[in-house]
Structures are given as C-alpha cells and as structure tokens.
Structure 1
Amino acid sequence: MDPATGAMLALQILALCSIVAALLAYLVRQSRNASNEFDVRSKRYVLVTSCDNSVGLQIAIALAEAGYKVFAGLLEPEGTSPSAKIIRALDDQRKKEPALTEIAEDGATALAQGQIVPLELDTTREDSLHACLDAVRARLPAGEDGLWAVVHTGGLALAGVIERQESSAWECMLRHNLVAPLRTARAFIPLLRAKRGRIVLLGDSEATFSRVPGLVAYSASRRGVEGAAEALRAELLTSGISVVLLKPPPINPLVLYGPPILKRIDVESGVKGAEGTWTAPLPTKAIRHSLTPALGSPCPLPSYNMASKPRSLCLFGTD
C-alpha cells in the first residue's frame, strides 16, 4: 500500500470512529435525560379523578407506567367494576417485582413507582371530594405537602334527540361534565398550589361530535368545560397553577366515558384470553402527544389536540 492510500484509509477510519463516538455520546446523553425525567416523575403525585370509565383508566395506567405515583378515583375501590378488577390485577403484578417497593423514612411503605392507589371518589358530591382530599393527604409521605396534578376524567354522554330527550338528562350531563370539574378544582387547589401544579381537563373533540345527532346537550357541556378552563387559567395565574385542556381525538364519547369492557374471548379469532383483557380507547400517540407534555412540560400549552403532534412553545420563563 502506497503512503497516500494509507493516509487516506487512516483518515476514513478516524472519521468513522468520530461518528461512532458522537453517536454513543448522544445515546448516553439521551439515556441520562430519560433517566432524569423518570426520576422527576417518580417524585410526583397525581390524582386521576374518574377511573371507572375507559379514558380515566387508560390515563391512570399511562401515568403510572411513566413513573408517576397515581391516586385513582373510583366509585367503589373494593368493588367488582371492570376498572377495579384491572387496577387490582396490575397491583398484584407490581407486587411480584419487589424492587419497585419503596420504604419511607418512618418505616411505612410509601407509594412505589408506577403504583396506582384506588380511592373512593364521586366528583359530583362535595362530601366525597373532601373525603378524598383527606385520604390523599393521609397517604402522602412525610415532607410531601401537595399534588403535582389533578386530571379530571369524569364525563357522561347520554344520547338523545333534543326534541325528545328529557331535560333531566341535560341536567345530569351538566352536573357530571361541567359542574364536577369545577368542584374538583376548588377542592384540590390548596394541594396544587403547594406544588405549583396543574389541573388537566378534557374538552370537546376537534372532530366536533356536535354535528352528530343526539349529542347536543353533551357537546354543550363539553364546550362549557373549554370556556371554564380558559377563565380558570386566568384566575389561577398568580397562584402558579397551570390549567391545561386536552381535546380528545374523534372517538365516540359513549365509548370514551363508558366503562371498560372485559373480554374473555376474541369473537373474531375465537381465541380465549384471561379476564381483564380490554381495549383502551385512546391511541398511544394521543397520550404521547398531549398528556406527556401537559404534565411534564415546565411550560405547558393552554390546550393540546390529542389527535396531532403539538408545537413547542413557551412564552415566559419558570422558576
């Protein structure tokens, strides 16, 4: 090999080594960032208010998998609802992994990373909200004085043509969809203020089901949530609490706010499965594109469309 060819080959090898080294450094940096983000999330406590419905259960599970310590509101935590069964099954699975168990300084078992703790909660009742508030405070470890987020996932969709639907159905939807999140915000503001946390609400779908016959009152209540979120955001601005609105993808609200359906058998394939198999209503990317930045960003956007990837935007600095 002549000297010129050898020199060229050496330069090519050096360039290749530099590229490999840069790639390895990038991967290490990304791994460290991911680890640091998980460590931050593992110190944050989140309440998901209504896990009896499919969207609430999916959000609670997604947050637990991301490392948050999750309180899950259920009407009957020890009951036999599909959500209660699924949460108990997940807890049984977690207990088989002892490395995830944490011991608090006072010797008591603290919430572990990825743990979902069911609490009794009916967001349409003031007494239930205050009892849940006390239960959350009692379960926070020594030194913890607040919640990072309250995600209100309660909702009710009653289909009916406006001309024939009873007004009691409208009042029921307004109570569940609009009044309940305001009551919840009012009850938990003290715990959120302590952490400069955030309130996350679900609005109307960008695909607007308001054009679907039979959902007039439902759509009115969901649009009301959007207006309430905007006003609440302005009112809580000086407290450091963020208010974030999530706009669900085009999914039938009867499915979104309906209970999870446990399946023992796949009807199409005829394959039997274990009890607890269910289909989550939201696509994974909807969680990644909206819920993740809504809770994790130091400067969350006012709203996120769960059907699309959000822009990065920060208009002011944070402490």
Structure 2
Amino acid sequence: MDSKKEKIEGRMKNEEISSIEDTNLNIDAISNLKKLTDQRFIEIVSGDIVDHIQNDEYLLDSIGKKPGTYYKDLILALIQIHLPEEEAKSDWKEILKHKYTMSESLGRNVGIHVATLDYYTNIKKLLTTPKIVNVHEYMDTASRAITDDLTKAYNRHFFEDEFKKLFTQAKSTGKVFSVIMLDLDHFKLFNDLNGHIQGDIALIEVVRILHAVCSKDDTVCRYGGEEFSILLPSQSLNLALKTAENIRQALYDYRFVNEQVLPNGRLCASLGVTTYREDIATPQEMIEEADVALYRAKNSGRNRVKAFLGEQVI
C-alpha cells in the first residue's frame, strides 16, 4: 500500500514539475539551454570531458545568464525538470557524488546523463516513467509551443499566460504595467494586391521593428493575423504611450515593398494602449479596454495611438 501511495505521489510530483517547466520557459531560457548543450558545458563541469575539467563556478559568466539560474539550468538541460536554484544546486552535488559511485562500481565513467537519470529515478524518485529525449528535439518543441511559426514572436498562448501573471502580480502588489494592442492598417488589401508571400515577409519585418523599438523586458507577441500585442512590465500609461508612438512612427517610416498600393501609400498601424488600474476586475477586461482604444484609433483615421483611461479613450 505504501509503495503504491509513493508511486502516486511521485507521479503527481512529476506532473507538477512538468507544469512548472512549461510555464517558465521563454526564448532566452531555451537559447541558453541550447548553449549549455551545444558547447558541452555540462560534460565539462561534470568531468566527463577529462581533458577540459573546470570548476563549474568558473563557467558562470560564460553561460550568458546571471548567477541565480545556473544550477537549475543544468538540471533542466539534463533531465527537463524545473527546480528552484537552491534545490538544483544541492541535487547537482549529489548527482556528481552518485556519478562517481556508479563509475567506481562499474569500473568505467557512466557519464553525467546516465547518473542524472538514475538519481532522479531511483534515489530522489521524482521520475516514475522516465524516457530519453534528445535535448535539441525537446528545446525545439518547447520553442514551437510558445512562438509563432512565421514571425518567431511569442504566440497568443504565451501572451495570455504572461499577461495573467502580470495581472495577478499587479492585483497583489499594485505594481503597474501596460499593454499595447496593434493592428496593421489595410493589411488585407496589402495581401490581396501583393500576395500572401509578400504579406508574410511584411509581418516578419513588423516583428523585427517591434523588437528594435521595444526594450528587452517587453514581450512582443503575434496575437493573431495582422494583430500584435506588447506587454510592458512596470510601464505607466505615459511611458507606454511613448513606446506606442515610437512603434507607430518606426512602422510608418519603414519602406515596405509595394506599400504604395495602399490608400495612403504606406503600410502603417493603429495602436490601443491601456494600463493596469485597481478598478479593472479581470485580465479580459483589460484586454477589452486596449481593444476599445485600438478600434477608436482605427475609426478616427488609422495610423495613430489611442489610450483607454477609465471610461475615456484619449
């Protein structure tokens, strides 16, 4: 009975870890994990590559992430489970000991990957049904799950998850944040006249411009079709309006191929902005405010920015 209970609890723990893992990966994290794998950092710091043994602390700055995410990145790259940094650090030391013990018993180096799998399966018992997955396939799958295939911006699912996190945080701490909803003006006509291939190229260029204008802390997403959303953590309405205006101007100044076929001769955008307030009850309500502002921008002539403030659109 106890054994069955332990298996059930282990399975629940494993599912919980998988859930945490799925909601914490972003493009930067995935890129960093690929770097850990491609440059064989894990094999070096674990001693698998004997000619290049280095103290693992020595490589902290080489990994491209600030201290505080080092050990959990090692564990995530090895076994695809997400742990707090301190727990991951403790586990890493135990895994190295386990690797040494297994190697001594077998008379050969078992390798860090085998030692890690055995540690989490038979010692810590976090994995009940382990399976070997190619790390590059795993990272590619993780990347596709949160990004738009065409533009490589974050997708709507990722946006909604991040938006809910920011909204929940704002509700509990009062920390302000803003959101921009952007829609390309006359884009259907642009597609019809230039073809979908040229339309796809334009969407890719739009995302490149958004990333160039926005800060690294902002989250650029393709919301759907020719509509995009940008999350602006810690930005007040005034700052968000400045960001939106910079985006509008950058898109207007860019020369898209064959944009002269459009009514005003330019492929441009309308933008709606809103900022968290205590009277906003739900994330959906805040999105609806940004949409109201966006369509007011559309209806008042396009190629402009409007903001929702309380019951007013300015």
Q: TM-score range, shorter-chain basis?
A: under 0.3
Which is bigger in relative contact order (C-alpha 8 A, separation at least 6)? 1
